[in-house]
Every structure is written in structure tokens, then in C-alpha cells.
């Protein structure tokens, strides 16, 4: 049932183009370029009523929420808070009938996320869920649901469920922006066009799997990694580092690249590989100067760079070309090579990739 792949995780990484198409098809009328999100149960009145959105999740799903904050604030102009499930209810969140609580979960069973949703329901917030498992507890508890159509995920590490969460949250933001009159049909069709092209771009990354295996072989003996990103790719640095930790047991930390000089740069020496995520746009030059800072201290840089294959950063920087997408979609394409890097690192180190030590697929106790 692994369909020729060595592990479920590898199979699930390769299933991402299909999972994204299925998630899109479930809500986007691709001919008419309209969104059908009726199960989410969001009306124009609700959009007018809601003054703040709270996104709550755990682990990888939390990283999807961090990306969604950018999308919702910029496309919908609504203030967004993001919380970890295990923190949310203990900080006395200010929830009322002007709040929308959106919980995000693959399993729909995670105990801390469930407790957050219960808190929201008790305090009269409007509650919605993005989940993968149909009929799961969160799906039943919330007042509306948006399903990711990733299919069953067997590997403990989330892969296709993360990228489909990012797609679903993007669709959520577009729907909200449309209902609030912030985007017009023409802009909506621009966004949908970008989403349509996404599976092909992911295929391009997947076809470069061997490069990432070689990189993994070069660095498999290291015990520490830093991951740096800015803007939309900051949460992806966190996610890349989480994947590396949980399956290869290499210590990895994700940082906002601008934070380097506030502490973590002290860690950099020739033994520290640094993964740098570099998107085109306003933060491009800033990321390049972060790369120089690392190099000046002897660190080895593994750069994932959006766009042109011909643009070379530097001869002693390892460089992987990530296909260019519409700006909002960069987090999705950048995720895939980081999954492959972590996967091959784990495989080469001989860990139990699909069942990492001490972890469970669904954390149903606090
Ligand atoms: C990491 C991973 C976990 C889950 C977390 C939340 O690869 O899979 O961090 O993301 O346990 O699980 P769900 O999304 O089921 O609520």
C-alpha cells in the first residue's frame, strides 16, 4: 500500500499535487471561478459582525495558522490573533459574539485544540474548523467546517495535510474578502488562477528529489541546523525545523532571519548548516544580507531561492531553485523541498520515519 515508495511519508509528500487539486475542487468552481464554501456557514452579516479572528492549533497546524494571519490581515483587513492550543484557554482570551474562533487540525481530535474550541463555544464566539478527518470531534463541535481533502495520512509527520491546510486557509481568506467586498471578481479569478498552477509547481520541486537526497547525505552527520525565513516564509522556517527534529532527531531551530543578530548568530560556526528561505520581493535583499552574515562566520548555507535557475547567489552557497508563484503561495511551494530534505536525512540516518520515537499521530490527551 506504499505504492512503491519506501515510507508512507515519502508517498504522502508525493501525493501533494493530487491532495491540493482535491481540496481546490471541493470548493472552487474552476470554470466559473466561484467559491462554494456553504459548509463553512459564513454570511455577509457575520463578516460585518466579526471584529477579530482567533486562529488556534497545535504543532504543524499552528504553523499553518501563522501563515494565515498574514493572508487574513492583508486580504481582509481583519485583526488576527494566533495561539497554540495549549496556551489559548489559560491566557483568558477576550472572546465574545464579535469574535470568530477558527481551529485548525488534521485529526480533528487534538485535546488542546478541542479545549480551545470548547472555550470559544462557552464564551459565545462564532466557531469554525478546518479539519481533514470527516466527522471528527472538532468538525462536529464547530458551527461550520472547511475540509482539507488530503485523504488519510499515515506517516506521523504532517506533510500533505499541512499544504492542504494552507490552501484551505487561503480559500477561507478569499471567501471572507469577497463577502466583505474587499476583492472583486477579477481579483478573485487572479487568485484562483495562481492556485490552479500550484500543483504543477509542486511537481517541479518533487522532480528534484535527488538533489535534496544529496544535500542530506552531505549533512547527515550534523547535530544542529538553523532555519531562517522572513515574512510569509518565517512560519515555513519553523515548519522546516520541526520536520527535521521530529523525524531525523537532529536539533533544528527556526528563526525570523532578522532576529539572528539578537542572539542566535552566536551559534554559527563552520559546524552549523543554515537553511535560508529566500522569496522574491521586498525582503529579498534583506535575506541576502542575512546569508552574508552567516557566511562571514563560516556557516554553510543551504539556500532555497524563488525564481530563476540562472541567478547564482555565491559559489560556496548550496542553492535550490523554488518555482515562482503568486506571492501568497510561496509558503506552500517552499514547504515541499524542506519536507524532502528532512525525509532523506531521516532515511539516511535510519530512523523510524513513519513512527518517530515518542510521537503519536493524534494527541488526544493534554
Ligand atoms: C508534526 C505533527 C504535529 C501535529 C499536531 C496537531 O508533523 O504532525 O505537530 O501537527 O499534533 O495535530 P492535528 O493537526 O491533528 O490537530
The rounded Å distance from CA 167 to ligand 1 centre is 17
- Secondary structure letter of residue 299 according to DSSP: P
Q: What pTM does this model have? A: 0.97
The protein residue whose alpha carbon is closest to atom 9 in ligand 1 is: 59
How many angstroms does the Cα of residue 60 sit away from the middle of ligand 1? 5
pLDDT given at position 29: 82
Sequence-separated (6 or more) residues with CB below 8 Å from residue 105: 57, 58, 61, 113, 129, 130, 131, 132, 136, 138
pLDDT digits over 234-256, tens only?
Answer: 999 999 999 999 999 999 999 99
For residues 259 and 226, what is the distance between their CA atoms, to the nearest angstrom? 12
Render pLDDT for 108-127 as a digit per residue (tens, 0 to 9): 999 999 999 999 999 999 99
- Active site residue ranges: 361
ipTM of this model? 0.99
In the predicted model, what is the mean pLDDT of residues 2-8? 94
Tens of pLDDT, residues 152-206: 999 999 999 999 999 999 999 999 999 999 999 899 999 999 999 999 999 999 9
- Tell me what the mean pLDDT of segment 47-73 comes to: 98
Q: Using a 6 Å CB cutoff, which residues line ligand 1?
A: 58-61, 105-107, 110, 113, 157-158, 242, 246, 362-363
Q: In this structure, what C-alpha cell is assigned to residue 64?
A: 499553518
pLDDT reading at 133 higher than 80: yes
**Burial environment of residue 280 by CB neighbours within 10 A (0 to 12, 13 to 18, 19 or more):** middle
pLDDT digits (tens, 9 = 90+) for 321-352: 999 999 899 999 999 999 999 999 999 999 99
Amino acid at each position: 500500500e506504499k505504492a512503491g515508495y519506501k515510507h508512507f511519508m515519502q508517498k504522502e509528500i508525493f501525493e501533494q499535487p493530487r491532495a491540493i487539486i482535491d481540496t481546490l475542487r471541493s470548493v472552487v468552481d474552476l470554470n466559473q471561478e466561484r467559491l462554494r464554501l456553504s459548509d463553512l456557514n459564513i454570511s455577509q452579516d457575520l463578516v460585518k459582525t466579526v471584529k477579530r479572528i482567533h486562529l488556534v492549533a497545535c504543532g504543524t497546524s499552528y504553523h499553518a495558522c501563522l501563515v494565515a494571519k498574514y493572508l487574513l490581515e492583508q486580504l481582509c483587513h481583519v485583526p488576527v490573533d494566533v495561539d497554540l492550543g495549549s496556551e489559548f484557554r489559560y491566557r483568558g482570551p477576550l472572546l465574545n459574539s464579535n469574535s470568530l474562533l477558527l481551529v485548525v487540525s488534521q485529526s480533528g481530535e487534538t485535546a488542546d485544540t478541542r479545549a480551545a474550541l470548547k472555550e470559544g463555544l462557552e464564551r459565545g464566539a462564532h466557531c469554525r474548523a478546518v479539519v481533514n478527518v470527516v466527522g471528527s470531534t472538532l468538525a462536529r463541535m464547530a458551527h461550520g467546517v472547511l475540509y482539507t481533502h488530503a485523504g488519510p495520512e499515515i506517516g506521523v509527520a504532517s506533510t500533505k495535510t499541512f499544504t492542504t491546510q494552507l490552501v484551505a486557509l487561503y480559500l477561507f481568506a478569499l471567501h471572507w474578502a469577497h463577502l466583505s467586498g474587499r476583492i472583486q471578481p477579477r481579483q478573485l479569478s487572479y487568485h484562483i488562477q495562481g492556485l490552479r498552477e500550484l500543483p504543477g509547481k509542486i511537481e517541479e520541486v518533487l522532480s528534484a528529489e535527488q538533489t535534496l537526497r544529496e544535500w542530506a547525505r552531505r549533512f547527515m552527520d550534523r547535530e544542529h541546523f538553523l532555519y531562517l525565513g522572513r515574512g510569509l516564509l518565517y512560519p515555513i522556517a519553523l515548519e522546516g525545523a520541526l520536520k527535521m527534529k521530529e523525524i531525523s532527531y537532529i536539533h533544528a531551530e527556526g528563526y525570523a532571519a532578522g532576529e539572528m543578530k539578537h542572539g542566535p548568530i552566536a551559534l554559527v560556526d563552520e559546524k552549523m548548516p543554515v537553511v535560508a528561505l529566500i522569496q522574491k520581493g521586498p525582503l529579498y535583499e534583506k535575506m541576502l544580507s542575512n546569508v552574508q552574515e552567516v557566511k562571514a562566520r563560516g556557516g554553510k548555507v543551504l539556500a532555497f531561492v524563488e525564481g530563476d535557475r540562472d541567478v547564482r547567489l555565491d559559489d560556496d552557497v548550496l542553492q535550490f531553485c523554488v518555482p515562482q508563484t503568486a506571492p501568497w503561495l510561496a509558503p506552500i511551494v517552499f514547504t515541499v523541498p524542506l519536507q524532502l530534505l528532512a525525509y532523506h536525512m531521516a532515511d539516511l540516518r535510519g530512523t523510524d520515519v513513519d513512527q518517530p520515537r515518542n510521537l503519536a499521530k493524534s494527541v488526544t490527551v493534554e
